Amino acid sequence: MESMDNALPRLPLWAQVLLASRLLRRTALALDDHAVLALCDRVDASAWEGECRVTAPSACVSPLRAAVMSLVDAAAGAEGAQSFPVDSCVTASVERCIDAVRTMRGANALQVAILVSADLDQIAFACKEVGIGTYDGLGAHVRGRLAPVHALTIVEPAPTPEEKSR
């Protein structure tokens, strides 16, 4: 398996956005955050069509605010990349979204890494199989090849012996 640092920039831009959206959807499912789930639905629709259908929420009070804003930036960048060379900005926004979830209180960084790697491999394979280009929308062919998204299990890490002795 290739590291995310090497594989992520090689994914088509909308595939990168979808990767971040799937991780954010897992987290929103765990937190029962309907506003973020609705945003993920719009981002996914944008990725399928290759046309941005999201705007930054005017007031986001979710604990996922940083991830939400990064996801919206990534979607806008993916659409803008058709006119301007902002490919690396999309990748950076996707990485910020993933980091925001990974470092969230109660998140298990290893679980996030495993889920992101699995999605990355799955999405990359589907895009390659169908011949999706860097700036193309993903379409129904890619969507039909992806496993469903389930809630991320957000748990507090077990205290270390040092923490227990304090």
Q: What is the DSSP string of the chain?
A: ---HHHHGGGS-HHHHHHHHHHHHHHHHHHHT-HHHHHHHHHHHHHHHHTS------S---STTHHHHHHHHHHHHHHHHTTTS--HHHHHHHHHHHHHHHHTSTT--HHHHHHHHHHHHHHHHHHHHHHT--TT---HHHHHTTSPPP------PPPPPHHHHH-
Q: What pLDDT, on a 0 to 100 scale, did the predictor assign at position 1?
A: 42
Instruction: Supply the pTM of this predicted model.
Output: 0.84
What are the tens digits of pLDDT across the range 118-130?
Answer: 999 999 999 999 9
Query: How does residue 108 score in pLDDT terms, banded at 50, 70 and 90?
Result: confident
Average confidence (pLDDT) over 144-161? 78
What are the tens digits of pLDDT across the range 49-107?
Answer: 999 988 877 766 677 889 999 999 999 999 888 777 778 899 999 999 999 999 988 88
Is 39 a residue whose pLDDT tops 50?
yes
Query: How does residue 155 score in pLDDT terms, banded at 50, 70 and 90?
Result: low
Q: What pLDDT, on a 0 to 100 scale, did the predictor assign at position 61?
A: 65
Averaged pLDDT of the chain: 88
